[in-house]
């Protein structure tokens, strides 16, 4: 699978959003599984919860990959898990410790955000026909705005410049390998692995919910990918991304 990502590799200088562009091309039937779109700059990079993804010109990885998993919508979140694990595999090559996934799919190094993932699924009669996997990975940028979750980069952490194209290739190899597991429907296996690297799993931590601070423990995710938290009173509640803020 890894090598098939080189079949249709579209490199752009500037675009509104690689995810949005990939979606348009896919809808128009101009690209298919394996297509990769990269850009040096996005005018309106899309982040989670309608946030803008900001990235200095030519400093970071901005990439969208088209996959056609053909899995049931019941396994929708397993795509997030698969891609998060691929990013984790990639990052672990550079950092021996402190690499974690923050639910649902942020990549953290020492509690700072190195990369984010935005996935758009195209559903056809109960199955995920196509998916656009967008990844923003901070490489050579060293100054970031004050986001609620502090941003970091490879250069900031390792104090050297990286070849972005080279890293992109390595990342695609990691995605290719994890995608094989998804195609083989190894859902249980990847879920288990996800929990071993999930920030706050089975540990008491602090969260903000409805404006109040609480202490809780992540105990799992439900079938649609909502976060399950055990409260101090022993009860378990589920939360969507917009309902919860992690406090570090
Ligand atoms: C997040 O908010 O953490 C997700 C960020 C995803 C950003 C990437 S950059 C490449 C691709 N194109 C987009 O517009 N967004 C994703």
φ, ψ at 182 (rounded to 5°): -65, -45
What is residue 7's predicted lDDT score, i.e. its pLDDT?
81
Ligand 1 site residues (CB inside 6 A) read 17-19, 42, 45-48, 51, 53, 62-64, 106, 116-118, 134-136
Candidate of 24, 39, 61, 118 to mutate for ligand 1, largest count of ligand atoms within 8 Å of Cβ: 118
Per-residue pLDDT of the chain (248 residues; tens, 9 = 90+): 445 687 899 999 999 999 999 999 999 999 999 999 999 999 999 999 999 999 999 999 999 999 999 999 999 999 999 999 999 999 999 999 999 999 999 999 999 999 999 999 999 999 999 999 999 999 999 999 999 899 999 999 999 999 999 999 999 999 999 999 999 999 999 999 999 999 999 999 999 999 999 999 999 999 899 999 999 999 999 999 999 999 99
Distance 36 CA to ligand 1 centre (A): 14
Q: Point out the ligand 1 atom lying closest to the alpha carbon of residue 48.
A: 2
What is residue 1's predicted lDDT score, i.e. its pLDDT?
47
Q: Which among 53, 73, 71 is positioned nearest to 63, based on CA atoms?
A: 53
Distance 117 CA to ligand 1 centre (A): 6
Cα–Cα separations (whole angstroms), residue 217 to 113, 132, 199, 230: 21, 31, 11, 5
Q: Point out the ligand 1 atom lying closest to the alpha carbon of residue 18.
A: 12
What is residue 2's predicted lDDT score, i.e. its pLDDT?
46
Distance 80 CA to ligand 1 centre (A): 13
What is residue 4's predicted lDDT score, i.e. its pLDDT?
66
Distance 47 CA to ligand 1 centre (A): 5
Burial 112-140 (b: 16+ CB within 10 A, else e): bbbbbbbbbbeeeeeebebbbbbbbbbbb
Candidate of 26, 47, 105 to mutate for ligand 1, largest count of ligand atoms within 8 Å of Cβ: 47
Cα–Cα separations (whole angstroms), residue 43 to 1, 21, 37, 52, 115: 31, 12, 15, 10, 18
What is residue 5's predicted lDDT score, i.e. its pLDDT?
82
């Amino acid at each position: 699978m890894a090598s098939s990502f080189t079949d249709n590799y579209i490199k752009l200088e500037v675009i509104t959003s690689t995810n949005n562009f990939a979606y348009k091309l896919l809808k128009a039937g101009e690209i298919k599984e394996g297509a990769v779109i990269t850009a040096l700059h996005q005018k309106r990079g899309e982040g989670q919860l309608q946030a803008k993804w900001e990235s200095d010109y030519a400093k970071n990885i901005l990439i969208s990959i088209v996959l056609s998993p053909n899995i049931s919508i019941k396994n929708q979140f397993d795509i997030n898990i698969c891609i998060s694990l691929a990013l984790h595999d990639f990052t672990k090559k550079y950092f021996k410790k402190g690499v974690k996934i923050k639910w649902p799919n942020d990549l953290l190094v020492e509690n700072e955000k190195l990369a984010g993932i935005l996935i758009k699924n195209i559903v056809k009669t109960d199955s995920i026909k196509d998916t656009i996997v967008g990844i923003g990975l901070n490489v050579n940028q060293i100054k970031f705005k004050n986001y609620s979750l502090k941003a970091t980069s490879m250069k900031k952490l390792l104090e050297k410049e990286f070849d972005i194209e080279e890293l992109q290739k390595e990342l695609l190899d990691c995605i290719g390998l994890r995608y094989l597991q998804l195609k083989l429907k190894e859902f249980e296996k990847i879920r288990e692995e996800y929990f071993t690297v999930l920030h706050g799993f089975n540990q008491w931590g602090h969260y903000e919910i409805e404006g109040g601070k609480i202490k809780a423990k992540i105990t799992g995710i439900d079938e649609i990918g909502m976060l399950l938290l055990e409260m101090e009173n022993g009860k378990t509640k589920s939360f969507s991304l917009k309902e919860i803020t992690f406090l570090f």
